Chain A
Amino acid sequence: MTAALRVAIAEDSAILRDGLVQLLVDRGFAVTGAVAEPAALRSSVAQNPPDVAVIDIRMPPTFTDEGLRLALELRAKHEGLGILLFSQYIETRYAADLLADDAAGIGYLLKDRVADVSDFVEALERVAIGGTALDPEVVTQLIGATRRSDTLSVLTAREREVLALMAEGRSNGAIAHALVISEGAVEKHVANIFAKLDLPVSDQDHRRVLAVLRFLES
């Protein structure tokens, strides 16, 4: 990595905040701010703009969806700022709000994912450079709730796996790595999926995510 990615953290649990800082510094990130509530992150981002902000959804004062609202606000104000929402449970509606118009530079992960440090760091990097990182849980819920399950049933089991990983925001290379197949095979599966579901083909990962999510939500 040439220049260290700059990360700001808003997390009200001190234990987790400290742990995250430790982890990120350990992995060579530059932490521009680690704060406990929305207002502090707002000023931290304004003073010392990061590449990506890690935001807990439940924060003071009401402990409901402060983080989500803060994320939408920061996104509108700071173009190109990556947002990784961090939560202890998954609300599919939050994902829908967040991805309403664009999936570029958006992440939504369960806090548990930090246990797999590499995956977490990879997701954070992806979001920082304008990619997408959706928690597998979000994707599972979306697939489970979709009214297009009859259409999905035309996919093979392998194609469904690829679809889920695509929805998480992973690149072909990462999908190939996760499924232990060649990248060429992944490309073939992706082409098949897009053809079967009649989706517009896109080479950019986050556009691809949006297309898949739109399909699942409709």
Chain B
Amino acid sequence: MTLVTEDGEAPTHPEQHTQQSEHKAVSLGITEEQVVKLKELAQRILHEPFTRRPWTELAFWMVSGVLGAVSLAVIAATLIVGIWLIITFVGLIIIAFSLRMARGFGRWQRTLAHNFLGETVEEPNAFVRRPGFFGWLQSALRDRVAWRSVAYFAVKVPWTVLGAYVAFSLWWDAITGLLSPIFWHGNGGPAMWGLAQGIFVSNGYGDGHGFGHNVGVFLLGVIFFFAASWVMRGFVTVDKLLIRTLLGPDPVAARVRSLEQARTTTVDASAATLRRIERDLHDGTQAQLVALAMRLGMAKEKLDDTEHVDIDRVRELVDEAHRGAKEAITELRDIARGIHPPALDIGLEGALATLAARSAVPTELNFDLRARPTPAIEAIAYYCVAELLANVAQHAQASRATVSCAQQGTWLRLVVRDDGRGGARLSTIGSTSSGLSGLTERVRAVDGHLQLVSPPGGPTVVTVDLPLSA
């Protein structure tokens, strides 16, 4: 029999084939592996009541439950009083205090979970207090962490009561069941309580007699004994989940924080860009224009001196002014292009092709982008290529460069490679904010990445990943 894979290739190792079919044969029943697993599971179930865990969980349940109930009582009482008095404004202060307490109670619960269960929940955001009494009041009333703590206690306390009822009834009934052969010799059933009472006693369990009945009660005790710790575990697991979601860091706040960071980067990057433009205008165009005005001023004064006009000197000044004006125009165009490259109006491919063609080092462009990125991404991609090619021309001593722009899912990947001397580092290539570090900032502002690989001797490869939309 020959086995042919989906690709139509014959398998290279015949042994592999036989192993596979053997495996298939046993997997119809119960494999040895599964038997081992079942054994492990059984052992675990049998051992569980004799390990520390169910008892620390029970202890946690009691301590945190009592503390939780007291906390909820205090919070509820103060909140109710606060709401009652809300019209008198004192109510608001009481509510604020109540919320501040809720935050503290929440911290206690986190500590308990940490100490008893080894469950480490991150601290939520610290309370940010705005200045002044009203600032404090407002911050306290709008403290999301505190309100979430209130919600935690509102859910936790009923859950604890239910858990305690179920757990204690199981333990009680387990013990009474297990001890039934010693204490109850057919004189009616043992005192059932809680869940088991509800289920069994009403079904005439208490009226049972005889050996079979007694064995049944005993077996029930055995089952309860081993089940109790797992039931407890279930309740604790849910509580842990509650602690994590309601007493841990607020996912909304975390998102807000990450957005704030991104915004800061963006604001910084655009401030740096503005500063660069200002510097270019200040050092370039403005100085050009001042010099131009000065020359024209000199020429004008020479012409005003009607008795003796040094026409050659005037011509010279006007010539210089004319040249300066043309230079100023060129500089202004370059600066404007730095703000928004007009080449991008015809699309990224055309813009990159222009850059590649203009580059001092012969540059090849591979462009494979099906979706058009948003304008912000196109601009960043354009500046990256412009800056990187400028670096290649200035520092790399390369004879060739390639630029590739390809789509990878929802990402745009730019790769600029040169065959130069390598050894470039983020700190050395590109000077200040206008250099490569500036690019890195720009790329990061849209959650992108910039990676530089440049071993001494080359080649240098810079990879930039940008989301297609930002």
Contact = CB atoms under 8 A, between A and B. Distances in A.
A140 interface: no
A117 B305 CA distance: 13
B368 to A, nearest CB: 43
B287 A15 contact: yes
Interface stretch (B22-30, B58-66, B231-239, B288-296): B288-296
A63 B433 CA distance: 14
A114 B279 contact: no
Chain B contact surface mostly: helix
A190 B294 CA distance: 33
Chain A contact surface mostly: helix
A1 interface: no
Contacts of B286: 88, 111
A22 B282 CA distance: 21
Contact of A15 (B282, B291, B296, B298): B291
Given A13-B283, A58-B282, A114 B301 contact: no
A111 B290 contact: yes
Nearest to B286: A88
Contact of A117 (B279, B282, B290, B298): B298
Contact of A118 (B282, B283, B291, B301): B301
A26 interface: yes
Contacts of B279: 63
A39 interface: no
User: How many interface residues does chain A have, given as a range?
Assistant: 20 to 34
B294 A114 contact: yes
Interface in A9-50: 12-13, 15-16, 18-20, 22-23, 26
Given A13-B287, A117-B301, A118-B301, A19 B294 contact: yes
A112 B288 CA distance: 11
B301 A115 contact: no
B287 A23 contact: no
A116 interface: yes
Nearest to B302: A26
Interface string A80-118: 000000001000000000000000000000011011111
Contacts of A18: 291
Interface string A48-62: 000000000010000
Interface in B280-332: 282-283, 286-288, 290-291, 293-298, 300-301, 324
Nearest to A118: B301
Nearest to B293: A115
B287 A115 contact: no
A115 B324 CA distance: 14
A115 B290 CA distance: 7
A193 B66 CA distance: 84
B327 to A, nearest CB: 8
A90 to B, nearest CB: 14
Given A19-B295, A26-B298, A114 B290 contact: yes
Contacts of A58: 282
A23 B293 contact: no
Nearest to A121: B301
A195 B301 CA distance: 40
Contact of A16 (B290, B296, B300): B290
B282 A19 contact: no
A117 B298 CA distance: 6
A96 B300 CA distance: 35
Given A15-B288, A15-B324, A115 B283 contact: no
Nearest to A58: B282
B293 A114 contact: yes
A124 to B, nearest CB: 13
A112 B298 contact: no
Interface string B255-298: 00000000000000000000000010011001110110111111
A141 to B, nearest CB: 20
B284 to A, nearest CB: 9
Contacts of B287: 13, 15-16, 88, 111
Count chain A CB atoms within 10 A of each CB in B294, B295, B296, B324 and give the residue with the most. B294
Contacts of B282: 58, 88
Interface in A96-155: 111-112, 114-118
Nearest to B282: A88
B324 A114 contact: no
Contact of A112 (B283, B290, B296, B301): B290
Contacts of A26: 298
Contact of A114 (B283, B288, B297, B300): B297
A63 B283 CA distance: 10
A18 B283 CA distance: 14
Contacts of A117: 294, 297-298, 300-301
A26 B295 CA distance: 11
A16 B298 contact: no
Nearest to A63: B279
Contacts of B298: 22-23, 26, 117
B277 to A, nearest CB: 14
Count chain A CB atoms within 10 A of each CB in B283, B290, B296 and give the residue with the most. B290
A117 B33 CA distance: 99
B326 to A, nearest CB: 13
| Nearest 7 interchain pairs by C-beta | A115-B293, A13-B287, A19-B291, A114-B294, A117-B297, A115-B297, A15-B291
Interface of B: 279, 282-283, 286-288, 290-291, 293-298, 300-301, 324
Interface of A: 12-13, 15-16, 18-20, 22-23, 26, 58, 63, 88, 111-112, 114-118
Given A15-B324, A18-B291, A111-B290, 12 more contacts: A19-B294, A19-B295, A23-B298, A58-B282, A88-B286, A112-B290, A112-B293, A114-B297, A115-B290, A115-B297, A117-B294, A117-B298
11 contacts: A12-B283, A15-B287, A15-B291, A15-B324, A19-B290, A19-B294, A19-B295, A23-B298, A88-B282, A114-B294, A118-B301
